[in-house]
Structure 1
Amino acid sequence: MKQAIALFVLCSAVSARAEVGVSAGASFNFKADFRNAARTQGSLSSPDTAGNRTYDDGYVRSDNIPGYPDQTRYYGYDTADGADISVPGELTLHSSQTIIDAQEASGEQSEGQPSIEIYWKENLTDNDRLNIGLRAAFRWQRIELDSASVSTTTTRTENHTYLYSSGALLTGSYDGYPTPTPGYPVIGDTPTTETVSYTVGESLVVFREIKADIFGFDLGPTLSFDLAEKLSFTASAGGTVAWIQSDFSYEQGAYSSGSDWDEDWLFGAYVSADLQYKLGERWGIFGGVAYVRLEDFEQEVDGMVSELQSDDSYTLRCGLFFE
C-alpha cells in the first residue's frame, strides 16, 4: 500500500499535466459457485487387515486356533449399541455409513461491498478539448459471499451374522481380545450372511462462505474530453493484475466442518468511465463506474469447492482529484 502511494506521488510530480485521485466505492455482482461430490460419514466393516473387522457394536479378529483355522475366540459385542444375540447360535453385528447427497449452490453479492482506489493519470497530448493519456490505479476490494442449501442424508447399514455351535452368549457386552474368557463360545471368523439396508434420514443445512480481499493494479490508456467549462469525461481500458487472499469455510450440519485459506495472483482486464467536475483551479470531484474481469479463483476443502467469479461484477465510485 505504501509503495503504491509513493509511486503515484512520484508519477504526479513528473509533469504538471499529471492528475492524482482517490475514491471510495461499492462493488456489486461478484458470484461464488459452490459444489461438492457425495460425501460419507462413518466407515463400514471392510477388514482393516485380513480377517479383522470393526463394527459400530463390536469387532471380530482372526485367531489361529490349532485344528480350527476358520474360528476365533477374539471377538466382542455390546447389545446396548445394537449387537443382536437373540437367535441361538448366531451373533449379528452392524456397521453403518451416512451418505450426504451431492449438491450445488451459488452465492451472489446482493449488496455493495467496500472498494478503495488511488489513481494517477497523465495526458500525453495537449489539446483544447480532446486528449489521450495514460492511467495507473491501485485498488482494494472486500468480497463476502455465502450460501445455505439443503442436503438429504441416507444411511447404509451392513448386517453381518457369525455362527457358533456350542455354548451361549451372555446378554450385555463381551470383550474377548486380547484375553478371551475360558469356555466362552468360539465363533466363525468370517460372516456367513450379509444383508444391506438403506434408510432415508434427515435433511440438513449446508452453509458455505467465502471472505476475500483483492488488491489490484490497473494500467491502460485514457481518452478525455471536455463537456463544459468545468465538466469533463474520461474513459479508460487496459490490463489488470490482482493479488487475492481468501478464506473459504463450510458447515455441514452436525456432521462436519472445515476451512481453507489461500492466496494467488489473478490476471484480467478493466474498463472504466468517469465524470469530473472542477471545484477549484486544480482540484475537483468525480464519479463513475468500473468493470474489472479477473480469472476465476477456486478453493477446495474436504471435497467442498468454491469458485469465485467476477464476470458480471462492477464498481460504482466517487472521490476527489488533484492536478
Structure 2
Amino acid sequence: MKRFLPTITLLAAAALAPCAALAQSASNTEPARPESELPNFDFGDLHVEQKFNMSVGFRAVSGPKVTFSGHGNTVGDLSQALDPSITDQARQYNDGFVGLDQREGNPADGKTNTWGMVDAKQLVNGGQDVAMHLYSAEVTDGGTHQSKQGSDFGAELLVTRDMGHIGKRLQWQLFAGFSVNSVSGAARDSVTASLTTVRDLYSLAGQTLPSGPPYNAPSSIVDPNDAEKTIDTTVLLGRAPDSQGIDIGVGDSQVFNAWKLKGTYVSFRAGPTLLYDISEKIKLSISAGPVLMYSGTTYNVETLFLLDTGGEIVTRMEDSDSKVLTGYYGDVTLHYMITERAGFYAGAFFQSGESYNHDLEDGDTAYSAHIDLESLNGFRAGLQYKF
C-alpha cells in the first residue's frame, strides 16, 4: 500500500491543476455583463457614399422646323378617253357615264338607254346637248410651304456618376442618357397646276330630261292611272359622242396640296457635368456634350382637285424613312434635394443636330420635306435619386 501512495498523489495533482488554472483566470477577468446589455458595435467603417444619380423627367422643346416643296403629282386619269368613232364600248367620265344599250333586241339606232350625268352645268347649248368630262391636273408648283412650328413634350432619363471634388463646393461628374420627342409638321395650300380637260359632247336630239340633273337612265315613273304599272321616261343618248375637244390651261385655285409629316426622334447624349453646391440642399449644374440622334418619320402628300363638274378627285402618296444624325447639347439646371438622396430638378437646355430631307418620289413626282433640327431649345424638369 505504501508503494502506491506516491503514484496516487501525482494523479490527483494532475487532475486538479486545470481547475486551479481556471480559478486563477476567473479571478483576473472583469465581471460578466448583464444579459440585457447589448455589445457596442461601430458601423462607421461600413458607410458607403452614393456615387450615382438617376434623373427621370420631361422635356418641353421647340419643335423642329419643317418646310415642304416639290411638284409633279398628277391627279385624274385621261386614259379612259376613247375615240368618238368607237360605239361598242362603255365610257366612264368624272361627271357621268355612257354604258352599252340594254334595250331588248338592241335596236341598231346608235342609241343607248344606259347613261347618267351629275351636274346641271353639263347641259349646254340651251339644254340641247350633254357634256361629259375627264379631268386631269399636274402639279407644277415650285414654291416652298412652311409648317407651323409648335412645342412638344417628351420624356428623358439620365444617369450621372460623381467623379470627384474640385475645391470645397465644386465637383465634376460624367452623365449619359436619352430623351424622346416627336417631330411633326403640316401645311395646306393651293398650288399651281397644269389642267387638262377632255370634253365629249352628246346631243339630246330635242329630248328633255324627266328629272334632275342628276339623272340616270333608264328611268320610269308610276302610272298615275294604275299604281301597278310604270311609264318609261328614259331619254336615249348616242352610244358615241358627236364631238370631242381637249382643253389645256393653268390654274392656281382648283388644286390643293396637304403635306403632313409625323414621327419621333430619340437623342442619346453623354459628357461632363460641373456641380456647384450653393447650399446644403440647393445645387447648380452645367452640362455639355455630343448628341447622337435617331429620327424616324412618315411623310404623306394629299392632292385635292376641285372639278368644275363631278365633285373632286383626291390622290395620296406616303413614305417612311429614318436617319441617324449627330450634334451637341448643353444645359443649365438647378437641383433641390428634399432628402439626402431624393430631390427634383429644373432647368433650360439647348440642342443642335443636323438637318435632312425626307423625299417622296414616284416616277416624275418628287416631293420633299426639309426637317431642321439645328436649333432646339426648351425646359426640362423632373425627379432625381442618388444611389
TM-score (norm 1): 0.66
**Pairing 1:146–2:180 present:** no
| C-alpha distance in 2 between matches for 1:283 and 1:195 | 77
Map Cα deviations across residues 227-284 of structure 1 (whole Å, 9 max, x no partner): 2332111111111112222111222113311211222322221111211111111121
| C-alpha distance in 2 between matches for 1:233 and 1:223 | 8
How many corresponding residue pairs? 253
Deviation at 1:75, TM superposition (A): 11
- Give the corresponding residue for 1:225: 276
SS state of the match for residue 142, structure 1? Answer: strand
Aligned mate of 1:172, from 238, 241, 253: 238
- Give the corresponding residue for 1:268: 327
Aligned residues of 1:76 and 1:174 also touching (Cα < 8 A): no
Deviation at 1:151, TM superposition (A): 1.7
Deviation at 1:117, TM superposition (A): 0.7
- Residue segments in structure 1 that go unaligned for 5+ positions in a row: 1-13, 46-53, 62-73, 83-93, 160-170, 176-193
- Give the corresponding residue for 2:374: 311
Change (3 A) 1:201 1:173: farther
- Give the corresponding residue for 1:189: none
Map Cα deviations across residues 126-170 of structure 1 (whole Å, 9 max, x no partner): 2421122211011111223211222244414589xxxxxxxxxxx
- Give the corresponding residue for 2:263: 212
Q: How does 1:184-263 map to 2 (within 5 A)?
A: 197-198=248-249, 200=251, 202-253=253-304, 254-263=313-322
| C-alpha distance in 1 between matches for 2:136 and 2:145 | 25
Map Cα deviations across residues 158-206 of structure 1 (whole Å, 9 max, x no partner): 89xxxxxxxxxxx83359xxxxxxxxxxxxxxxxxx9874253743432
| C-alpha distance in 2 between matches for 1:60 and 1:271 | 71
- The farther-off stretch of 313-322 and 258-267 is 258-267
* Equivalent AA in structure 1 for residue 342 of structure 2: W
* Equivalent AA in structure 2 for residue 275 of structure 1: L
- Give the corresponding residue for 1:117: 156
Map Cα deviations across residues 260-315 of structure 1 (whole Å, 9 max, x no partner): 12223222211112111111111211001222222223222242211221222223
* Equivalent AA in structure 2 for residue 32 of structure 1: V
Change (3 A) 1:263 1:199: closer
**Pairing 1:33–2:67 present:** yes
Q: CA RMSD in A?
A: 3.6
- Give the corresponding residue for 1:51: none
- Give the corresponding residue for 2:342: 283
SS state of the match for residue 375, structure 2? Answer: coil
Larger C-alpha radius of gyration, 1 or 2?
Answer: 2
- The farther-off stretch of 218-227 and 289-298 is 289-298
| C-alpha distance in 1 between matches for 2:376 and 2:279 | 31
SS state of the match for residue 53, structure 2? Answer: strand
Change (3 A) 1:153 1:126: same
Deviation at 1:34, TM superposition (A): 0.8
| C-alpha distance in 1 between matches for 2:246 and 2:156 | 65
SS state of the match for residue 126, structure 1? Answer: strand
* Equivalent AA in structure 1 for residue 322 of structure 2: E
| C-alpha distance in 2 between matches for 1:135 and 1:243 | 19
| C-alpha distance in 1 between matches for 2:334 and 2:177 | 17
- Residue segments in structure 2 that go unaligned for 5+ positions in a row: 1-47, 92-97, 99-115, 123-132, 200-236, 305-312
SS state of the match for residue 35, structure 1? Answer: strand
Indicate the percent of aligned positions where both proteins have the same amino acid.
20
Runs of 4 or more, structure 1, over 6 Å off, are 74-78
Aligned residues of 2:190 and 2:253 also touching (Cα < 8 A): no
- Give the corresponding residue for 2:354: 295
* Equivalent AA in structure 1 for residue 183 of structure 2: I
SS state of the match for residue 255, structure 1? Answer: strand
Aligned residues of 1:30 and 1:109 also touching (Cα < 8 A): yes
Q: How does 1:47-126 map to 2 (within 5 A)?
A: 55=81, 58-59=82-83, 97-102=136-141, 103-110=143-150, 112-126=151-165
| C-alpha distance in 2 between matches for 1:258 and 1:252 | 9
TM-score (norm 2): 0.56
SS state of the match for residue 59, structure 1? Answer: coil
